[in-house]
Structure 1
Amino acid sequence: MLENLHVALIQQACSGSREDNLNASERAIRRAAAEGARLILLPELHTLPYFCQTEDVACFDWAESIPGPTTEFLADLAAELRVVIVGSLFERRAPGLYHNTAVILEQDGTLAGKYRKMHIPDDPGYYEKFYFTPGDLGFQPIPTSVGKLGVLVCWDQWYPEAARLMTLAGADLLLYPTAIGWDPNDDEAEKRRQLEAWQLIQRAHGVANGLPVLACNRIGLEPDPSRRSPGIHFWGRSFIAGPQGELLARAEAEEEKILFACLAPGRTEAVRRIWPYLRDRRIDAYHDLIRRFLD
């Protein structure tokens, strides 16, 4: 990881127009690069509305190949601006085989790698199992010019195993492009609990692994196309945390925002020296973790 790495998160609303969404991302990416960012993270599925609120086979028409139109668009930007960009798209791997995939574009425009979302939810408003096959690339950080990026996606952010495996494979950062929000029918107390849990679990991954965490969410109310529910109100609140869980930057719920932070790689080394979790792990006693439940 580079010394004093300047990072940026693009918190944005996502409409039904792929062109409008990419144009909004481009404007923000250009501003972030002009401010000195070397690594730029976008939200989950940022080229599309969150179509997983319903099960509709017509939505498969939105999927694209990798390489494809979105990776080419982001690659051109990365090469022009000399930045690393982490994007997110609906991948068409083969007829009837689709993934929720993060792509990492190197600063020369090459595709440094990709990560296919491993944990796929199936909940009211989040019918992702209808659309996405679970990832098969494992928890492997992507080597780039700015460090090894431990990229995970949304529902992955709740699982300590995913963060730990990225760490054990040498990740320098944990990055979480996400699309998460409230049911508008929830009361304020429930909304607060959900939001605080989301922030807490990801900051805890940073603490437990001694790594910075970048969590980038979308914003805005996106109606349910079926009209069976009031839709999802994406809560924004993107943030950047350091290796002790300290908040370095955070956005509010309703604002399109570029978040900036400067990350020093020496912080991970310093933190792990005083909190040596990797040294003290009892790897001889964790075999039951591969079981579903201890009946």
Structure 2
Amino acid sequence: MTQATAASTTTIALLHLAPRPGEIEANRGALEQAVRRAAAHGARLIVTPELAVSGYGFRDLIGTDWIAAGQPALFAWAGALARESKASLVLGTPEADPEDGKLFNSMVLFAPDGSVVGRHRKVNALRVGSESWSTPGDRTSVFTIEGIGRLGFFVCADMYSPRLVDETAVQGVDLLLSSAAWAPGLHGPNGEWERASAKTGRPVLVCNRTGKDVLDFDEAQSVAAVDGAIAFSHASPEPRIALVDWTTNTHRLTNWRITGAA
């Protein structure tokens, strides 16, 4: 008789924050507090919203020259934060390619040792308005994170595209993960997360944001979509941390709870 494989559970933290457009130092301070708080609750994967470092509408306030100039220091800071928290950290930030200088709306993955082990550059980047500074990425991204499995990465509207969902899923994923700055309303989310979970048969976790920026995000939701339906969700005008447990061998999300971000 063989014993059943013991369940392995890891806590994931979604930092439902309120990045201020153009206020880099204030945003970094809020991120530091939230990451430390999430780590104190046992999180081993910590995810930030889209453009958590800069806020969404930063370009018209501070331009873009700071992105490349400040990137080495920013990545060193984020790597140190990952080492301190002993967690994998997914940071939503503008990113400059060191070879050609192109700018991207990115999710950058830092390992618990502080190294950069992956990045996803938003494919469905808007070419007008507040995102006109960014170059669209040209590929899907799947990374293996210890204790969790293979994760497909999306930035906000990437999840809108069935093609990107399909191209990610065929690489063999256990979980789909999205950083977002997606407010409700006329162009708000309309079943994309539920559809992706139903089509792939894998849960979808979305780290959205709150606060005022170029849009009002106070009612924007961070969610877990499972089997075509929203299983958990959170929205609040105040920054919060959503914690959820992930069981690797059964691919289940359970025990959703909310705590303060500072």
Pick one of 255, 260, 266 that aligns with 2:238: 255
Q: What does residue 150 of structure 2 align with? A: 148
Q: What does residue 132 of structure 1 align with? A: 134
Q: Which amino acid aligns with 1:99?
A: F
Q: How far apart, in 2, do the equivalents of 1:53 and 1:112 lie?
A: 27
Q: How far apart, in 2, do the equivalents of 1:62 and 1:109 lie?
A: 22
Q: Cα offset for 1:62?
A: 3.1
**8 Å contact from structure 2 (residues 154, 177) kept in 1:** yes
Pick one of 91, 100, 105 that aligns with 1:100: 105
Q: Is 1:13 the equivalent of 2:46?
A: no
Q: Which amino acid aligns with 1:215?
A: V
Q: Cα offset for 1:87?
A: 0.6
Q: Cα offset for 1:268?
A: 4.2
Partner of 1:63, secondary structure, is: helix
Q: How far apart, in 2, do the equivalents of 1:208 and 1:82 lie?
A: 33
Q: How far apart, in 2, do the equivalents of 1:36 and 1:30 lie?
A: 10
Q: What does residue 44 of structure 1 align with? A: 50
- Structure 2 unaligned runs (5+)? 1-6, 253-262
Q: What does residue 91 of structure 1 align with? A: 95
**8 Å contact from structure 2 (residues 16, 208) kept in 1:** yes
Q: Which amino acid aligns with 1:33?
A: A
- Structure 1 unaligned runs (5+)? 183-190, 223-230, 270-295
**8 Å contact from structure 1 (residues 71, 103) kept in 2:** no
Q: How far apart, in 1, do the equivalents of 2:190 and 2:39 lie?
A: 26
Q: How far apart, in 1, do the equivalents of 2:65 and 2:97 lie?
A: 13
Pick one of 210, 214, 225 that aligns with 1:241: 225
Q: What does residue 203 of structure 1 align with? A: 194
User: Relative to 1, partners in 2 of residues 1:210 and 1:26: Cα closer, same or farther, differing over 3 Å?
Assistant: same
Going by fraction, where is strand more abundant, 1 or 2?
2
Q: Over aligned residue pairs, what C-alpha RMSD do you find? A: 2.5
Pick one of 112, 121, 124 that aligns with 1:116: 121
Q: Cα offset for 1:66?
A: 9.5
Q: What does residue 173 of structure 1 align with? A: 175
Q: What does residue 280 of structure 1 align with? A: none
Q: Cα offset for 1:199?
A: 5.7
Superposition TM-score, scaled by structure 1 size = 0.74
Q: What does residue 259 of structure 2 align with? A: none
After the TM superposition, which residues 8-87 of structure 1 pair with which residues of structure 2 at under 5 Å, given as runs? Answer: 8-15=13-20, 16-51=22-57, 59-64=63-68, 68-87=72-91
**8 Å contact from structure 2 (residues 13, 46) kept in 1:** yes
Q: Cα offset for 1:85?
A: 0.8
Q: Cα offset for 1:248?
A: 4.3
Q: Cα offset for 1:204?
A: 1.6
Partner of 1:121, secondary structure, is: coil
Q: What does residue 257 of structure 2 align with? A: none
Q: Cα offset for 1:63?
A: 1.4
Q: How far apart, in 2, do the equivalents of 1:212 and 1:139 lie?
A: 17
Partner of 2:196, secondary structure, is: helix
Superposition TM-score, scaled by structure 2 size = 0.83
Sequence identity percentage: 29
Q: Cα offset for 1:118?
A: 0.9
Q: Which amino acid aligns with 1:139?
A: T
Going by fraction, where is helix more abundant, 1 or 2?
1
User: Relative to 1, partners in 2 of residues 1:119 and 1:113: Cα closer, same or farther, differing over 3 Å?
Assistant: same
Partner of 2:181, secondary structure, is: coil
Give the total of aligned pairs.
Answer: 242
Q: How far apart, in 1, do the equivalents of 2:33 and 2:149 lie?
A: 25
Give the greater-gyration-radius structure (CA). Answer: 1
